[in-house]
A and B are shown apart, each in its own frame.
Chain A
Amino acid sequence: MPAGAGIGLRAQHHFDVLSASAVSWLEAHAENYFADGGPQVDALLKIRALHPLSLHGVGLSLGSTDPLDTRHLRNLRRTVERFEPALLSEHLSWSSVGGRFANDLLPLPYTEEALRHISERVAQVQDYLGRQILLENVSSYLEFACSRMAEWEFVAGVAEQSGCGILLDLNNVYVAAQNHGFDPHRYLNALPPATVQEFHLAGHARIDCNGRPLLIDTHGAPVCAAVWELYRTALLRFGELPTLIEWDTDIPALDVLLEEAEKANSIRADVNAVAA
């Protein structure tokens, strides 16, 4: 992957991306391209011919206690074979049980049982796909009373037990830290540097819940100043890694995303200059 920051690809930008020379690389939601054919698939094939690509799954429900969805896995493998992404990622979460899907990224309890369960499933998926996947930490709005370890210990444990890499979403770290009252730097300091292979950056919303603020991971706003600072810290700890700007709701013009990517590039250059 190039060092320059990439952007999340959304259908609204398919045409613009084909002629945008400033795009460094792109990340697409894998499920959006599961179709047998058609305009979406054609567009991504054309884009893939011009730009490096990462595929990011949102529907595998890796932490679920249901059996792995073999049809979804087959579709994912076909999509990976079709587009040959440089990076492939999913989420450290679950979204289904009893055959019903919430189609949202639900948090796991940080227990030994959950750690063992999701690590085994991630290893199965990697065996099936014949490649390593990256797992992204998710934003969360609740904590389970039964958790027996910190989120960062759980994330590091899954990477160790399954052999997967970590896609470190710095906005998600910040959102969880604000919602649950921990220091986000503690999170970063606990992750083994070799396991982190990609960064995500995005915006969030702040809602008021009876006088108490709750941050919601909307992907619908610019990256906030505190997350840019966290990015600076992450670059110092984990080094120069592929960095992605995500924007999924109230999607602005491509130029706005490219400006955010340029801001990430500028911070990376600053950090490199200081380190030198």
Chain B
Amino acid sequence: MPSLHELQTHLLEAVLDGEPDRALPFIFDNGLAPERRLQVYADNARANFAGSLRCTFPVIRRLVGEEYFQQCAARFQRRHPSRCGDLQHAGRQFPQFLAELHAQDEYRYLADIARLEQLCEECLLGADHGPLDLQKLARVDAAAYDDICFRLHPAARVFSSAYPCLRIREVNFSDQTDPEIVDLQSAADRLLLIRRRERLEFHRLSSDEHAFLQALYLGGRFAAAVDAGNAGNGEFDAGAALRRFVAAQAIVDFH
């Protein structure tokens, strides 16, 4: 008799890897081939995984079509199988997977679209948070400002791409039959994504603002974030940027 661990190991090889040989002896025939019985579970596992990706990446699915999307999902599942019982995290590496899959062809932009969709989902699942406590900030000694680490809203993310990803998302998010053709070279995207109440908001950023916010998002000190903002043409207005992002409730805390 196999141990429980041995049985589970070989059954999962059949379900996830398409290698049923070592599981077959464990399964009672009873009028139907064990391979066919195992196939039901393999089909379920593949469908559940692809369904989760379809929820997170609806624009990718729309752009590539259902058949190719399912092929991608199956290949991705083999390389990056689910690591937890909550499938909401299953697609975390899907943008990188697409980037590698299409590194050298005209579909390079798909990885950036997937990254935008991934960030949208993170915003939709992020915690709620109130606005920045301005009185608390007023109590900080001006000499200590450089060392402050501002914190972005838990449901805010920063995004950039050489492609007009937001426009592509907008025209492909619904099931309209004849979506507008978007020129991939028309504009680069630099965005702040933030969930307010139940809706996602997209704020366009200058390159300086993007560098500043990205540095804050990564946990950098205020002085380092200002340096990042100034790394372009040196005309970054840190005070104006701070006021804008506090008002937008993108910056909500500091330490």
Q: Which of B104-123 contact A (CB under 8 A)?
A: 123
Which segment, of A96-104, A122-130, A252-260, faces chain B? Answer: A96-104
Q: Is B12 an interface residue (CB 8 A)?
A: yes
The digit string for A58-83, where 1 denotes a CB below 8 A from any CB of B, is: 11110011000101100100000000
Q: Is B125 in contact with A97, judged by CB distance below 8 angstroms?
A: no
CA distance A64 to B8 in the complex (A): 8
CB-defined contacts of A59 to chain B, threshold 8 Å: 84-87
Q: Is A216 an interface residue (CB 8 A)?
A: yes
Q: Is A212 an interface residue (CB 8 A)?
A: yes
Q: Which of B7, B41, B154, B195 contacts A146 (CB 8 A)?
A: B7
Q: Is A4 an interface residue (CB 8 A)?
A: no
CB-defined contacts of A97 to chain B, threshold 8 Å: 5, 8-9, 12
Q: Is B12 in contact with A98, judged by CB distance below 8 angstroms?
A: yes
Q: Which of A79-117 contact B (CB under 8 A)?
A: 94-104, 106, 108-109, 111, 113-114, 117
Kindly report which residue of chain B lies nearest to residue A142, judged by CB atoms: B37
- Shortest CB–CB separation between residue A29 and chain B, in angstroms? 10
CB-defined contacts of A106 to chain B, threshold 8 Å: 8, 11, 15, 41
CA distance A209 to B15 in the complex (A): 18
Q: Is A100 in contact with B12, judged by CB distance below 8 angstroms?
A: yes
Q: Is A101 in contact with B1, judged by CB distance below 8 angstroms?
A: no
- Shortest CB–CB separation between residue B84 and chain A, in angstroms? 6
CB-defined contacts of A101 to chain B, threshold 8 Å: 81-85
CA distance A101 to B87 in the complex (A): 9
- Shortest CB–CB separation between residue B173 and chain A, in angstroms? 16
Q: Which of B194-228 contact A (CB under 8 A)?
A: 195, 198
Kindly report which residue of chain A lies nearest to residue B198, judged by CB atoms: A39
Q: Is B26 in contact with A146, judged by CB distance below 8 angstroms?
A: yes
CA distance A196 to B100 in the complex (A): 51
Q: Is B125 in contact with A38, judged by CB distance below 8 angstroms?
A: yes
CB-defined contacts of A72 to chain B, threshold 8 Å: 84-86
Q: Which of B38, B52, B128 contacts A37 (CB 8 A)?
A: B128
CA distance A84 to B75 in the complex (A): 40
- Shortest CB–CB separation between residue A106 and chain B, in angstroms? 6
The digit string for B75-101, where 1 denotes a CB below 8 A from any CB of A, is: 000000111111110100000000000
Q: Is B32 an interface residue (CB 8 A)?
A: yes
- Give chain A's interface residues, CB within 8 Å of chain B: 31, 34-40, 42, 57-61, 64-65, 69, 71-72, 75, 94-104, 106, 108-109, 111, 113-114, 117, 141-147, 180-181, 209-210, 212, 214, 216
